[in-house]
Structure 1
């Protein structure tokens, strides 16, 4: 048994001996620890049946989730992330956070998950930006986690095969996992769990016989951490369970001063694991780049409360609520920010009863662990407690403040502990000699009913994740008092053109959370009266002084109200907050004249060299100011980026015409049209023929002969003031068309 981390038989108790043999030679089926273990040769067939059943359960539950679109956090983390789309260097994955922002940026979320980002990038490289394949990979990973969890329950926890199968199936179909599996960004939690289980099994499962088992386990632990930060906790779970399993040898060595081979093996494993844990933790702290993530009060209201008592009561209640969600996942939501769970401000709050019940439950488990150190009759219960408690610590606000109230996907790993605990309790009841047939039949019915409900709830929950409107409507149904839900629904209604519904929900969001700066900003963009819009933008700035969009939008309002000096001041303040805010530079260029306009346009062209419209805009200013040679350079730069940029072609043609090179103008237009021969007419579905090219080229040439200036890209039509003082577009377009709403 040299090199085995534990399970060395060190007592004469017959039950202990039977348990020891089950750990090493396979667990009996339907017999409990008291029966003779099944022979080793029967194990592979049983294992295949167990794992196949778990895989089928995963497929049945998540088949309908494969049709889902990118929703919620999937959009910024995957669909708009340059590290995923491959538009940025591969090396940046190692220095950017999960959302594609450099870790050195003060506004970075500091979530360092490069392994998960690499899997997204590979997904995109192989299949493109098709959501179905991202979902397929997530489901496959979830299936692997479910299979490995079933293996853990059988080979390490010592459950019978049928109860290990049950544990794997419950894990596979549990509704609390839908956010982690059907939500694409939940891959971080699923991937971390996969390596978490591999690390634990490598360390503790004696069937994994490798000389450098601890090193391999620590490697899997590092991969788990690189998938998501909480994966590092597997090394602590390994240590804790190793100490429990080896306690007999440790105690004997300390009391009798006799160092057994198992004790010596234990002393060799522990320093390696501790050293790996310290090294990985040091690396993770280094990647913070000297600063912690910045969260706001809506993200985690309890963290910003002045009273330590309120913080303690609220955090404790959130932990109890998470435990309840794992037991009864009826109320599920993709976003639990703001006032989803009101703060517990009084000792007389009835919710404290639930907190006390959860605390008593955890206290009983802790006492059981301590009392079982010597006898070790209930190893599954101890392992369940470790899996439930230790992985939850990073999300508990105990070590660091987190940026959420409740996040269902962070319960992916801790749920294994609760499932193992419940299934072990079921096995104990079923195998107890005094259990009557009525009790046995009742428990079987309860298990079957629970599985049916879990499967149905998971399938229904998958349908909630189908699209943006379905996930928001589901959230509104679960948490109608959540201001963020109303804000998101208002954003969606604004995007589909239902302005009045959007206004109503923005106002409801502000009623629930009056200091909601983004709601004020977005509501301001939908106001018809400039005074109303000004009121909301000022409120947004008051509650969030760094709200860049609100400063820009207020500058737009002041410009429309002919308060040019105030508009310039607000836009300059906007650029102080974000010196890369292109829209603010362009608006300032309209408010200034002469060389200042040129300086601003030149800055935008230099800052955005891959955007032909900015090159063409500056080139047009140069041409209007008779700097034709320089204009020619910038028009050529624009066409180098996009040969089909119409404004650049027209501008270049006019510059050549101004220089008297009309033959070159015609050749330019003909050449430009020839490059489009293989292109389909937009919406027409037919090839552009040579005759069409000639006609289009000649029309474009004649258009280039005119002296009328080109309209600036993105410039809104002129506005007029109505009799009632409202600002409106000359063509009836709303004020929102020149404002920038938040996400």
Structure 2
């Protein structure tokens, strides 16, 4: 690994260059296999397309394959051109060239289509030489930048992950000493071109030709000589050209080893020094890339004139709660680049005093009229100062500049009149349908307009979205906020069963999500409780209207035998549904959290009415305690249609476990038994 390579390996953004290099070299190896095959050629084109999708410069592999194929076939092409006889092999080269060129044109069109038909636009901060009005200055600067990239391959001492905003001063005069490096680099390039052309016939230096092609062709799109790119120097784009540089260096060492046997000792010593220095520099550069502050500090030592580095380091200090040091670096960035709008904006967020902050925000807008954050921060400042109309104009400007700026829409929600809030709320939900806060805003607005039904639906959706993020360590518990709003709305609507279901889901989530079997049992239990509750209400209505009854019941017929109280699973409770109706009715009436001690009082009570009468009263004990879940309630059938009397006898039944009340405040205990 060269010292330049950590920029492509250690940085996440550079992984595209590594992937493009893998497909690039794979396409080269497949195309130039010893055995020619049409499938190999098409596979090489496919690999070139994959390299292009990873990095735009990957499409140059098709040109490189075509150029190297022409170099290998030149002796045969020369023999065919002299007597004007086209051999079969020559026609094969023509067909391959046609297919490769057509594929190249299609891939370029595809890439432009992915870019929506236009090249990316850049600012003067990204590439200052590209915006200079003089063509001579642009040409000299770009030629020097190409030579400087070649120098970085030879001597990678001055390294930085960012070369923008004045890192490389413009070459404005022909007497600039940096033009000497430009002349030396292009002179070496001309010598290599001559060596490649002279070697077309004999082809004795094929490695040098291949290394030259790998050095030049992949770098041409990033050289700013044909297309403007968004940087002046980027170490990661030299990842593929570094392969050509290594091939040329290795081949040069091989030639020196074979041509000068007496100097082999000096050559070995020189190679050892070169390898040791490269390893040391690479290790040091990898250490610089270990984290963000270390990289920024190391690059500031290398390029103290880079305003972008001062700005980025100021951002880090701001995040590290060091506002004074951050302001100092922002001001240094402004000294190096006075029209730096983002630096003015960030200073405005840190300085004290409304007037100072407003001054920096206005300067940021002056230098960059499309700076959305400056408009937004100025609107927040006006809102805090009580200037409502000016704040509203700033937020509307943010929306016009960036229609998908959600924060500006949220701020306008509190400044615009009520008749415009509905459209703003709908727009916010369209922009971020996965944000639970927006549904909460919409629900609160509907609740303020006396629409509790639709408001409950929006509250429930906010609760569902808040449960997706399982992070109990957050300082703001969004699940509690949405749960409270939803539960209060259900209570207003009188939906008691929905409130119970809501609490059950929330407690299940709080416990980290149970297993599938536990969740299934929990759901079955809840459904059974709701069913028993409905039947208890029906029984209560029937008992309060005895005129519809034709039979007389005594307490013995409502009794539950102690020998039958065994329920092993929640599913077995369905068999005891009709026997637990009086008990569950008392649970719903009393709403107490107790266990079963006296299931039935006064088992044999005298019936004070006569059979066959139309009006009867049934005495149901109201102090029956709740029955636990893991108890089984036996079946109790009516033995006789006639009334019978008996003596009072108290019996107490105890279970192994307890079944709590199904009232909403005890929903947490319902889940305890299933985990």
Under a length normalisation based on structure 2, what TM-score does the superposition of the two structures give? 0.71
Deviation at 1:293, TM superposition (A): 0.7
What does residue 130 of structure 1 align with? Answer: none
Q: Is the 8 A contact 1:656 1:664 kept in 2?
A: no
Aligned to 1:544: 368
Structure 2 residue corresponding to 1:667, chosen from 478, 485, 500:
500
For residues 460 and 257 of structure 1, do their structure 2 counterparts lie closer, same or farther at Cα, with a shift above 3 Å needed? same
- Is the contact made by 2:500 and 2:667 (CA closer than 8 Å) also made in structure 1? no
2: distance between equivalents of 1:609 and 1:379?
A: 59
Structure 2 CA distance for partners of 1:444 and 1:638, relative to 1, 3 Å: same
Partner residue, 1:200: 28
2: CA distance, partners of 1:591 / 1:211? 67
Residue 277 (structure 1) aligns with? 104
Over the aligned positions, Cα root-mean-square deviation in angstroms equals: 2.7
Kindly tell me: are residues 371 and 593 of structure 1, through their superposed partners in 2, closer, same or farther at Cα, counting changes over 3 Å? Answer: same
Q: Which residue of 1 aligns with 2:165?
A: 338
Post-superposition offset of 1:480: 1.4
Kindly state the Cα deviation for residue 658 of structure 1 after the two structures are TM-superposed.
Answer: 4.0
3-state SS of paired residue (1:406): coil
2:19 to 184, 191, 196: 191
Shift of the 359–664 alpha-carbon distance from structure 1 to 2, 3 Å rule, reads same
Query: Where do residues 525-540 of structure 1 align in structure 2 (5 Å cutoff)?
Result: 525-540=349-364
| CA–CA separation in structure 2 for the residues paired with 1:218 and 1:637 | 49
Determine whether 1:490 maps to 2:314: yes
Map of 1:576 onto structure 2:
400
Q: Which moved more, 1:634-643 or 1:456-465?
A: 634-643
Q: Post-superposition shift, 1:642?
A: 2.8
Aligned to 2:121: 294
Matched, 1:329 2:177: no
Whether contact under 8 Å (2:66, 2:97) holds in the other structure is: yes
The answer to whether the 8 Å contact 1:248/1:374 transfers is yes
2:90 maps to which residue? Answer: 263
1:557 to 2:374 alignment? no
* CA distance in structure 2 between the partners assigned to 1:196 and 1:601 by the alignment: 49
TM-fit CA distance, 1:470: 1.9
User: Is 2:290 aligned against 1:469?
Assistant: no
For structure 2, the 5+ residue unaligned runs are: 468-477, 514-656, 669-675
TM superposition shift of 1:313: 0.7
> Of residues 479, 495, 512 in structure 2, which corresponds to 1:645?
479
CA–CA separation in structure 1 for the residues paired with 2:232 and 2:30: 34
Q: Using the alignment, how far apart are the partners of 1:585 and 1:592 within structure 2?
A: 10
Say whether 1:215 aligns with 2:42. Answer: yes
Give the equivalent residue in structure 2 for 1:452.
Answer: 276
TM-score (norm: length of structure 1): 0.65
Indicate the residue corresponding to 1:51 in structure 2: none
1:257 Cα offset (Å): 2.8
Tell me the distance in 2 between the aligned counterparts of 1:262 and 1:605.
64
Pick the aligned partner of 1:394 from 199, 215, 221.
Answer: 221
Task: Please tell me whether the aligned partners of residues 657 and 665 of structure 1 are also in contact (alpha carbons under 8 angstroms).
Answer: no
Cα distance change of structure 1 residues 227 and 607 upon mapping to structure 2, 3 Å threshold: closer
In the TM superposition, what is the alpha-carbon distance from 1:600 to its structure 2 partner? 3.0
The answer to whether the 8 A contact 1:653-1:668 is kept is no
Deviation at 1:252, TM superposition (A): 1.6
User: 1:667-706 maps to which residues of 2 (within 5 A)?
Assistant: 667=500, 670-671=503-504, 673-679=506-512
Does the 8 Å CA contact 1:616/1:647 hold for their aligned counterparts?
no
1:314 matched to 2:314? The reply is no
Q: Distance in 2 between matches of 1:448 and 1:629?
A: 80
Query: CA 1:262/1:508 → structure 2, altered by over 3 Å: closer, same or farther?
Result: same
Q: Structure 2 CA distance, aligned partners of 1:371 and 1:607? A: 63
Cα shift at 1:479: 1.4
- Residue 80 of structure 2 contacts residue 86 of structure 2 at CA under 8 Å; is this kept in 1? yes
Change (3 A) 1:699 1:334: farther
Pair 1:551–1:700, CA change in 2 (3 A) = farther
Q: Following TM superposition, by how much is the alpha carbon of 1:698 offset from its aligned partner in structure 2, in angstroms?
A: 5.5
Q: Deviations over 1:384-438 (max 9, x none)?
A: 2211111111101122111111111111111222222222221111111xx262x
Instruction: Give aligned pairs, total.
Output: 513
More off after superposition, 266-275 vs 239-248:
266-275
Distance 1:633 1:202 in 2: 59
In 2: Cα distance, 1:532 partner to 1:484 partner: 23
Instruction: Rate the CA distance shift 1:283–1:610 in 2: closer, same or farther, 3 A.
Output: closer
Question: 2:511, 2:390 → 1: CA distance?
Answer: 51
Q: How does 1:397-476 map to 2 (within 5 A)?
A: 397-432=224-259, 435=260, 437=262, 439-476=263-300
Choose the corresponding residue for 2:489, options 655, 671, 681. 655
Which whole-Å CA distance do the structure 1 matches of 2:424 and 2:242 have between them? 56
1:478 is aligned to 302
Task: Measure, in 1, the Cα distance between the counterparts of 2:5 and 2:207.
Answer: 22
Which structure has more relative contact order (CA 8 Å, sep 6+)? It is 1
The corresponding residue for 1:179 is: 7
Partners of 2:385 and 2:156 in 1: CA distance: 53
SS in 1 for 2:166: coil
| Contact 2:361–2:377, Cα closer than 8 Å, also in 1 | yes
User: 1:190 Cα shift?
Assistant: 1.7
Counterparts of 1:196 and 1:582, CA distance in 2? 41
Q: Give 1:170's aligned residue.
A: none
CA contact (8 A) 1:552 1:584 kept: yes
Q: Distance in 2 between matches of 1:630 and 1:275?
A: 59
Give yes or no for contact 1:669–1:700 (8 Å, CA) kept in 2. Answer: no
